[in-house]
């Protein structure tokens, strides 16, 4: 029976008391991105499995271990999206958006699914806000994405965020760097975890991303990608930094950032908040990707974007005491005694709602006393009591619940609520 009253592990209900915060966060992020020209795209919750194994990279943890993959009734393998970039790229290709005026700028608010061990802010279904910018290879595009990432967090009240940036270089830089990494890690074969030994064969960069403390200690001494960048990649990275400095956007270069997915090239970054007790909170991250659109069958097209985890962002905002807009309270409660008064209350409530005023009336057949108690619970700003006398006169008293003050109010189309 517990299955009927307990949500699946790693999922979470967003209750009516919390949803206002979510609406505020999501709309603020979308609005901020819109100022930079990003328009929202909505993509399906599931895609063909191949889309993710092709784009996210089949050596990543996400694809190897965490995907919610199943065979549908038509015998097709489909996967609940573990992230947004692949689906957005697929949609951009499918609808010819990359043939229109470039750059293409899109934003999204989505749920993502990863079969992870739940706990400490990790869920199996979670929410991401993200953006993608296609068609611009310039450092200017990187700077704009970084500026937007910073701006989004500032807009919701996290003003002390720092962008940690790195460059993974182009294919050529990566090739030389990968060789250097293999040489370095080879000496520690006896000490690396089993997964990292496998990574060393398939994708040595991933070893830098291992969460195992012993592996992390070894990785700390590994060569830095920044020493392997070609002239062009160095110049690109330098220009991104010059623009950030010019615009006053706080950043620091962090050569260990490689990001979890395979498709990144050149600029990668994380948005890092440091809590008062010194804890490093990563609110999200992103980067540039070169081969993704090509991998999906399109013409070579540069992309850059980021995604932030909204569960973590909300928790950080709450811990930091960021303000949230108050919920819209009930403006007026129309209490009634008797059936005719109840019908009038309903009519007046409808009228007020049409005028944009939030109004409620009794649906429970409660006594007047119980209705007043309920109006209090709703934190209604005003209450009108409608009984036989009021019906006859077509007028009642509007009581301010704040001051207790009463003023006459008409109980027909002429009703006016402050």
* Interface positions with ligand AMP (CB under 6 A): 83, 114, 116, 121-123, 126, 128, 260, 282, 284-285, 307-309, 311-312
Query: 59 or 138: whose CB is closer to ligand AMP?
Result: 59
CB of 67: closest distance to ligand AMP in angstroms?
Answer: 12
Query: 61 or 144: whose CB is closer to ligand AMP?
Result: 61
User: Which residue carries 């013409």 as its tokens?
Assistant: 299
HSE at residue 238, side-chain half, CA atoms within 13 A, is 7
CB of 387: closest distance to ligand AMP in angstroms?
Answer: 53
Asked if 290 and 302 touch (Cβ cutoff 8 Å), the reply is yes
Query: 128 or 167: whose CB is closer to ligand AMP?
Result: 128
Cα–Cα distance between 89 and 259 in angstroms, integer?
19
Run of H or E residues at 97? none
Count how many residues are written for the chain: 418
Query: 127 or 344: whose CB is closer to ligand AMP?
Result: 127
CB of 286: closest distance to ligand AMP in angstroms?
Answer: 7
Read out DSSP for 302-371?
A: -EEEEEEEHHHHHHHHHHTT---PPPPPPSEEEEE-SHHHHHHHHHHHHHHHHTT--EEE-SS---HHHH
CB of 310: closest distance to ligand AMP in angstroms?
Answer: 8
Query: 282 or 357: whose CB is closer to ligand AMP?
Result: 282
The token pair that represents 320 in the structure block: 């930091």
Cα–Cα distance between 249 and 281 in angstroms, integer?
18
Query: 283 or 348: whose CB is closer to ligand AMP?
Result: 283
Whole-number Cα distances in Å, 417 to 54, 336, 407? 59, 17, 10
Query: 44 or 394: whose CB is closer to ligand AMP?
Result: 44
Query: 139 or 285: whose CB is closer to ligand AMP?
Result: 285
Cα–Cα distance between 306 and 270 in angstroms, integer?
9
Query: 239 or 311: whose CB is closer to ligand AMP?
Result: 311
CB of 163: closest distance to ligand AMP in angstroms?
Answer: 13
CB of 296: closest distance to ligand AMP in angstroms?
Answer: 18
Asked if 223 and 256 touch (Cβ cutoff 8 Å), the reply is no
CB of 395: closest distance to ligand AMP in angstroms?
Answer: 56
Asked if 254 and 164 touch (Cβ cutoff 8 Å), the reply is yes
Residue 287, strand partner residues: 268, 305
The residue nearest ligand AMP at its CB is 309
Residues in CB range of 367: below 8 A, 6 or more apart? none
CB of 326: closest distance to ligand AMP in angstroms?
Answer: 27
Read out DSSP for 163-204?
A: EEEEE---HHHHHHHHHHHHHHHHTTTTTS-HHHHHHHHH-G
Alpha-carbon 196 to chain mean position: 30
Query: 266 or 344: whose CB is closer to ligand AMP?
Result: 266
Query: 11 or 216: whose CB is closer to ligand AMP?
Result: 11
Neighbour tally for 394: CB within 10 Å: 11
User: Which residue carries 């007790």 as its tokens?
Assistant: 277
CB of 1: closest distance to ligand AMP in angstroms?
Answer: 28
Reference 384, options 343, 415, 351; nearest CA is 415
CB of 130: closest distance to ligand AMP in angstroms?
Answer: 8
CB of 39: closest distance to ligand AMP in angstroms?
Answer: 21
Reference 80, options 118, 40, 51, 109; nearest CA is 51
């Amino acid at each position: 029976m517990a299955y009927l009253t307990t949500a699946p592990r790693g999922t979470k209900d967003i209750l009516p008391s919390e949803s206002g915060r979510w609406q505020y966060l999501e709309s603020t992020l979308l609005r901020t991105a819109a100022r930079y020209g990003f328009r929202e795209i909505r993509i399906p919750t599931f895609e063909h499995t191949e889309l993710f194994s092709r784009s996210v990279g089949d050596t990543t943890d996400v694809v190897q271990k965490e995907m919610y993959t199943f065979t549908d009734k038509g015998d097709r393998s489909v996967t609940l999206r573990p992230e947004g970039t692949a689906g957005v790229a697929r949609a951009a290709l499918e609808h010819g958006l990359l043939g229109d005026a470039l750059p293409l700028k899109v934003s999204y608010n989505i749920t993502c699914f990863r079969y992870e061990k739940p706990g400490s802010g990790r869920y199996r279904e979670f929410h991401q806000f993200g953006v993608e910018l296609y068609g611009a290879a310039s450092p200017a595009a990187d700077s704009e994405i970084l500026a937007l990432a910073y701006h989004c967090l500032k807009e919701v009240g996290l003003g002390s965020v720092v962008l940690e940036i790195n460059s993974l270089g182009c294919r050529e830089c990566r090739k030389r760097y990968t060789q250097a990494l293999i040489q370095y890690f080879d000496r520690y074969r006896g000490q690396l975890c089993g997964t990292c030994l496998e990574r060393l064969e398939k994708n040595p960069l991933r070893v830098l991303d291992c969460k195992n403390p012993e592996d992390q200690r070894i990785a700390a001494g590994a060569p830095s990608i920044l020493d392997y960048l070609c002239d062009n990649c160095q110049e690109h990275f330098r220009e991104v930094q010059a623009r950030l400095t010019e615009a006053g956007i706080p950043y620091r270069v962090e050569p260990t950032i490689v990001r979890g997915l395979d498709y990144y090239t050149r600029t990668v970054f994380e948005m890092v908040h440091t809590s008062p007790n010194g804890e490093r909170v990563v609110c999200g991250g992103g980067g540039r990707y070169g081969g993704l659109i090509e991998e999906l069958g399109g013409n070579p097209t540069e992309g850059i974007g980021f995604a932030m985890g909204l569960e973590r962002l909300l928790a950080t905002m709450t811990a930091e005491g960021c303000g949230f807009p108050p919920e819209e309270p009930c403006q007026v409660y129309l209490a009634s005694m008797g059936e005719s008064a109840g019908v009038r209350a309903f009519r007046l409530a409808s009228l007020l709602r049409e005028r944009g005023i939030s109004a409620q009336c009794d649906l429970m057949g409660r006594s007047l006393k119980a209705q007043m108690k309920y109006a209090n619970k709703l934190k209604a700003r005003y209450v009108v009591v409608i009984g036989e006398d009021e019906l006859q006169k077509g007028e009642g008293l509007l009581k301010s619940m704040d001051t207790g003050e009463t003023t006459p109010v008409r109980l027909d189309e002429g009703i006016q609520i402050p």
